[in-house]
Amino acid sequence: MRIAYLDCFSGISGDMFLGALLDAGVPFELFQKTVADLNIGATLELSRVDRAGISATKLDVVVSGEKDMPREEFWAHLHEQVGSRVRSHTNEAHSHEQSPLEGDEQEHARKSHRARSLSDILGVIAAAPISERAKRTANEIFLALGEAEAKIHNVGIEDVHFHEVGAADAIVDIVCAAVGAEALGVDEFICSPLNVGGGTVACAHGVMPVPAPATLELLRGAPIYSGDIQKELVTPTGAALVKVLVSSFGARPMMTTEKIGYGAGARNFSGHANVLRLSVGETAAAMRNSGGTDANLIEEEIAILEANLDDLNPQLIGYIVDLAFAEGALDVFTTPVMMKKNRPGTVLTVVARGEHEEKLRALLFRESSTLGIRTRHEKRHALPRHHEAVTTQWGGVRMKVATVNGTVSHYAPEYEDCRRIAVEHHVPLKTVMQEAIRLYLDRKNG
């Protein structure tokens, strides 16, 4: 299987991800054409920089003659322009959608850094002459950002007006990220634990702790930590990229590295390389296409771990299942059996890729009462699949879509997305799932 591994020892942002893609071989001309096709008045500048001794690619988005900059520097720049001071978070109605500037300053900010609604942004993406797959990815990233902001500020998703993330520079970051991820030609993105930084950050809503609330919401379920650098290292855009693109987290898997890219962050810290490292290569259990009528099936070697349990509290089994999925298991299931001395028992089965086998075996020994684990290796054939985002009246839902020889054969809404909406909006789960399917079919058949 061809994978891309993200080393996020200094966090991740949109420009760092694009720089790493370019450094790993994605053509700069592809990004230039994408930006020109977006037609939002942006251009790109490419340079080589040094970050604590590491040479890295720096990509800057230029809008109206000005480069993008870290969030707190952006707001400080606006204040310097208008000769005004930053004030605390306003108590006015819809204050979560306003900048910390007053009166004419707000108007200046809007003109300098236009706020856009989610539908505005999706319209820009829909009009862009990029692949449907890239459009789906970009839509999912912005949808993830919108849902996080909406939840944090307790508003509807269309009531969120994107300031930092909705500006032209971030539209460029996200659309180019979707195009570049596709051009990289990998089957899966895997990510290290993320260094989120520390301290506080100034943004449109005022001064926030690091990680910012929306960033932390986007990183639910991802392993994160804070190091010595007391600055924002993972931006909301970077967190959304991770949420949508990354399929699993952990230490670097066993892989043969073919390409390496370093994307530079905006700041140059003393003694700390502010870069994102991207490694591309093949895992030990490489995916390959089989021949004949199943030409598009993905074949891979998997590990199957099994343990017989007859003396374990059933409550712990559910806990172990959750931990196994978090550690990268492809599937986990139980089978009721009758064991020796006519005791009822459970066979716990974990299906995983080879790079996760060792840590999952250690998990079963640590968390269960088993004294032995059976392991076998088998081949698995799987249909290619991808996600497509639909927007219901309650929020976004990802549809998992599988294909056979390029034709859609299966589609289903992601359960966790539907469950979250059902709980938050007090809507029957089946209603949410049915609505997601209806919207998907309407778009597919429209």
Q: Enter the tokens of residue 126.
A: 């829909």
15-24, 302-311, 400-409: segment of lowest average pLDDT: 400-409
Average pLDDT on 420-432 reads: 94
Of the segments 91-100, 119-128, 267-276, which one has the largest average pLDDT value?
Answer: 267-276
Label the pairing between strands 275-283 and 255-264: antiparallel
Encode pLDDT of 32-58 as tens digits.
999 999 988 899 999 999 999 999 999
Encode pLDDT of 271-294 as tens digits.
999 999 999 998 754 444 444 444
Average pLDDT on 256-275 reads: 94
What is the structure's pLDDT at 97? Answer: 35
- Give residue 225's identity as a one-letter amino acid code: Y
What is the structure's pLDDT at 87? Answer: 35
Sign of CA dihedral 109, 110, 116, 120: negative
Evaluate if residue 445 carries a pLDDT over 90. Answer: no
Evaluate if residue 108 carries a pLDDT over 70. Answer: no
137-142-146-152 Cα dihedral, nearest 10 degrees? 90
Average pLDDT on 73-96 reads: 37
The better pLDDT of the pair 322, 160 is held by 322
Query: Measured between alpha carbons, how far is 157 from 149 in angstroms, rounded to an integer?
Result: 8
Q: Enter the tokens of residue 331.
A: 């599937």
30-34, 290-294, 396-400, 420-424: segment of lowest average pLDDT: 290-294
Average pLDDT on 216-239 reads: 92
Percentage of residues of the chain with pLDDT beyond 90: 52
What is the structure's pLDDT at 161? Answer: 65
CA distances from 7 to 195, 256, 274, 277 (A): 10, 16, 11, 5
Count Cβ neighbours within 10 Å for each residue of 399-419 and write b for 16 or more, e otherwise. Answer: bebeeeeeeeeebebeeebbe
Structural domains in the chain? 2-283 (no CATH), 298-382 (3.30.70.1380), 385-445 (3.10.20.300)
Encode pLDDT of 333-352 as tens digits.
999 999 888 889 999 999 99
